[in-house]
């Protein structure tokens, strides 16, 4: 099938900004991996006018989806999990063009999943877990049980992804199948929330307690990335400094929830810095005993 679509990527492969071209083929009648297209072609560019461009084609009753993506956007997908199929595309896709072994090295990096990448991804998932758990608890206490159910379900999903990453694997689209093998107790929580016979209110209450326990037991590994960044300078940090730090920008709105969690757990201390306003202080953050 590769030859049929060669004209779609051949011209682009000669472009100096093209780093690599991958092909993923549909391997079953219903294929979410390829959005039911017969072929997905992924072209990675160093720079491009648009960070992500998609085009659809037909040839002899076959369908192809062409994705042209910048290296920066692809790395965001792989780090944040915002395009779940991207990891599978890169790991399992066939290399059609590879400039200076860029694709080969990227595949190897994903398979090896270096500890520094794992630590950061765990931090991102842990921050999301805190945010969803906090929102879910607030909605539950306000009596909005269906909305609380939705947030707790999302919190469990982040807990599942965190556990998969901790064991050295990339979370796949079928993350619950992975978790069932790796940490069956988390799968059991998910199964109980979705299919349990208890009233919805009771199921949510039990899951909130389980989430609290998970937050406590996973704080050390979940906060490791943020604490490593905070150790990079001796002085205290303002929230703005943390928020704009290159290693922390992907946390977005979840950074505040993670930081407050660490203050509550007494891993981070709050120091007050006087402002010109009478009785108003800047909140500054520092590691405990450091």
228 touches 119 (CB < 8 A): yes
In sequence order, the 6+-apart residues with CB closer than 8 A to the CB of 97 are: 9, 13, 18, 20, 21, 103
- Give the chain's domains with CATH numbers: 2-112 (3.30.460.10), 115-222 (1.20.120.330), 234-287 (1.10.10.10)
pLDDT of 26 above 90: yes
DSSP bridge pairs for 65: 40, 56
Predicted confidence (pLDDT) at residue 153 exceeds the cutoff of 70: yes
Q: How far is CA 265 from CA 5, 284, 286, in A?
A: 56, 16, 13
Share of the chain above pLDDT 70, in %: 99
Q: Is 247 helix (H, G, I), strand (E, B) or coil?
A: coil
pLDDT at 117: 93
Contact 121, 79 (CB under 8 A): yes
Burial 131-150 (b: 16+ CB within 10 A, else e): bbbbbbbebbeeeebeebbe
- Listed as own residue / partner, the contacts of 135-141 with beta carbons closer than 8 Å and 24 or more positions apart are 136/204, 136/208, 136/211, 137/208, 140/201, 140/204, 140/205, 140/208
For 47-95, the pLDDT digits (tens) are 999 999 999 999 888 999 999 999 999 999 998 888 889 989 999 999 9
Express each pLDDT in 155-165 by its tens digit: 999 999 999 99
The angle formed by the CA atoms of residues 51, 109 and 64, to the nearest 5 degrees, is: 45
Rounded CA-CA distance 43/74 in Å is 10
pTM of the model as a whole: 0.89
221-233 per-residue burial string, b: 16 or more CB within 10 A, e: under 16: bbbbbbbebbeee
Q: What is the mean pLDDT of residues 21-38?
A: 92
> What average pLDDT does the structure give for the chain?
93
Band the pLDDT of 1: cuts 50, 70, 90: low
In angstroms, the CA 155 to CA 157 distance is 5
β-pairing, 52-59 vs 94-98, is: unpaired
Task: Identify the CA nearest to 20 among candidates 88, 85, 79, 74.
Answer: 74
Q: Per-residue pLDDT for 2 more than 80?
A: no
CA distance 164 to 170: 7
Q: Residue 225 has which token pair?
A: 């990335």
Give the model's pLDDT for residue 275. Answer: 84
The whole-number pLDDT of residue 4 equals: 74
Q: Sign (positive/negative) of CA torsion 13, 17, 19, 22?
A: negative
Q: Please name which of 93, 7, 87, 83 lies closest in space to residue 42, comparing C-alpha atoms.
A: 93
Task: Examine the pLDDT at 173 and tell me if it is beyond 90.
Answer: no
290: pLDDT strictly greater than 60: no
Q: Residue 278: its pLDDT value, please?
A: 79
d(CA 145, CA 163): 26
pLDDT digits (tens, 9 = 90+) for 85-122: 998 999 999 999 999 999 999 999 999 999 999 999 99
Express each pLDDT in 230-246 by its tens digit: 999 999 999 999 999 99
Least confident of 137-151, 214-228, 274-288: 274-288
């Amino acid at each position: 099938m590769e030859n049929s679509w060669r004209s779609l990527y051949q011209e682009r492969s000669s472009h100096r900004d093209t780093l690599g071209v991958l092909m993923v083929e549909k391997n079953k009648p219903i294929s979410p991996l390829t959005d039911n297209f017969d072929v997905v072609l992924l072209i990675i560019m160093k720079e491009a006018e648009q960070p992500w461009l998609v085009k659809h084609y037909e040839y002899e009753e076959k369908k192809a989806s062409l994705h042209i993506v910048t290296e920066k956007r692809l790395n965001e997908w792989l780090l944040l999990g915002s395009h779940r199929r991207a990891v599978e595309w890169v790991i399992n896709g066939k290399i059609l063009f590879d400039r200076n072994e860029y694709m080969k090295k990227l595949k190897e990096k994903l398979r090896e999943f270096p500890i520094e990448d794992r630590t950061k991804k765990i931090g991102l998932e842990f921050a999301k877990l805190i945010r969803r758990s906090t929102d879910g608890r607030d909605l539950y206490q306000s009596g909005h049980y269906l909305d609380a159910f939705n947030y707790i379900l999302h919190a469990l999903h982040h807990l599942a992804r965190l556990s998969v990453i901790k064991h050295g694997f990339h979370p796949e689209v079928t993350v619950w199948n992975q978790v069932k093998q790796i940490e069956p107790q988390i799968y059991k929580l998910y199964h109980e929330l979705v299919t349990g016979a208890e009233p919805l209110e009771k199921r949510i209450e039990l899951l909130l307690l389980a989430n609290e326990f998970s937050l406590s037991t996973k704080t050390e590994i979940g906060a490791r990335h943020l604490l490593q960044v905070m150790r990079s300078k001796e002085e205290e940090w303002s929230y703005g400094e943390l928020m704009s730090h290159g290693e922390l920008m992907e946390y977005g709105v979840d950074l505040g929830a993670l930081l407050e969690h660490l203050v509550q757990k007494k891993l981070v201390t709050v120091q007050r810095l006087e402002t010109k306003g009478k009785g108003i202080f800047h909140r500054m953050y520092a590691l405990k005993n450091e």
